[in-house]
Structure formats: C-alpha cells, structure tokens
Structure 1
Amino acid sequence: MPTKSDRNTLRERALKALAAMPEGENQRINGGIQADADNPELGEEFFAKAKRMRGPQKAPTKKLVSLRLDPEVIERFRAMGPGWQARMNDALRKAAGL
C-alpha cells in the first residue's frame, strides 16, 4: 500500500502532467468520455456507494476451512454483529486451551 509520501509524490506528478497538457486537450478527452456510451464517466453517486476492499494477504495468518456447525451456533455469533467470525475463532481458541 502506498505511503502518504508516495501518494503526495504521485499527486504532484499528476498535477505537473495536467499543467503540461496542450491547450484544449482536456476538453478533447472529456468529449471522448462523454461520447463513449459503453464506458460512462463514474459520478459522485457511484463513489458514494463504492466499498473499499482489501487485497490478498502477503503472508496469510489464517486458513480457510469448511466446517459444519449447528444453525443456532452461527445465529448466536452473527447476532452479536460485525466481527462474529473473529469472536467465533476466539471462542474456539479458548475451548482448545490456546
């Protein structure tokens, strides 16, 4: 993930490139965007609904397993809200004496 310094550097480079753009080039680009019905420009509404997602872990610390549990157990943990899987993991660790 880029650091704040990296992001600032990239922002500065983008602003310099924008300033160096020939007269009318930005309008030509925007006109092309508006004319392409298959690839519309994404507006504020799209980004307001967008969710940020994590990428793959560099060194996974957990293992994915398939486990059959009683529905009541799953419902109880889910009813506690977000983080239910981590709480379930903690309960299993405690039960295993870890």
Structure 2
Amino acid sequence: MQKLKTRSGRTIVLPTDEEDRQINAGIAADPDTEELGEDFFKRARPAREVLPAAVFEQLVALKRPRGRPVGSVSPNTKKLVSIRLDPEVIAAARASGEGWQTRVNEILRREFLKA
C-alpha cells in the first residue's frame, strides 16, 4: 500500500496495481462512461460562452467568495506578514497536519507575549 501526504497534512492511500486494474475494468464495463479524448477538449468552450447569460449570471451569484465575509469584524483579525524560516522548520510544521499555521501562531504567542 502506497501513501502520499499532501501539503495540508492529509494522507492519500493509492490503490495497488490490482485495485487499479479492477477500478479500470469497472469503468470500462460501465455503459454510461466514455473516455474524453483530445477532440473533446479541442471543442470545449467556457460556460460563459455556451450558457444563456441569465443562467450563467445565476450560477456566478451562487458562488461563494473566498475569505472572510465582507463586513465581518473580529477582535482577532490576523495580519498577513512574510517571514523567512528554515526549510526544516516549515516542513516539520506542515507535517504536523492541518492547522499548522494556527499552531505556529500559538507557539509564537506563548514565546513573545509571556504574561
């Protein structure tokens, strides 16, 4: 069993060669699937070009923006800064899994805001 670790700390278990063969056989046996070839991608167009304008605008309106909601005020608003850290420090922090930046913030808070 082969595993990959993502930058966010998640572990992905890759299928074995036998499992991969079984998966591909199942796909090949499914009449509702087809391989999308080069010709398909040459003909493909963005949704904006093929959907009616009203439908496309409704879909865009449904998409949630990234980041904090506009107007949200938090007493703990963080500031974006850039610092240089040793590659080993970053690797160890990332290897600790999701939420590593918050943990680094807590370590720095304890060190610099000793009360």
Q: Do the two structures share a fold, i.e. TM-score over 0.5?
A: no
**Greater relative contact order (Cα 8 A, min sep 6): structure 1 or 2?**
2
When you count strand as a share of all residues, which structure comes out higher? 2
TM-score normalized by the length of structure 1: 0.42
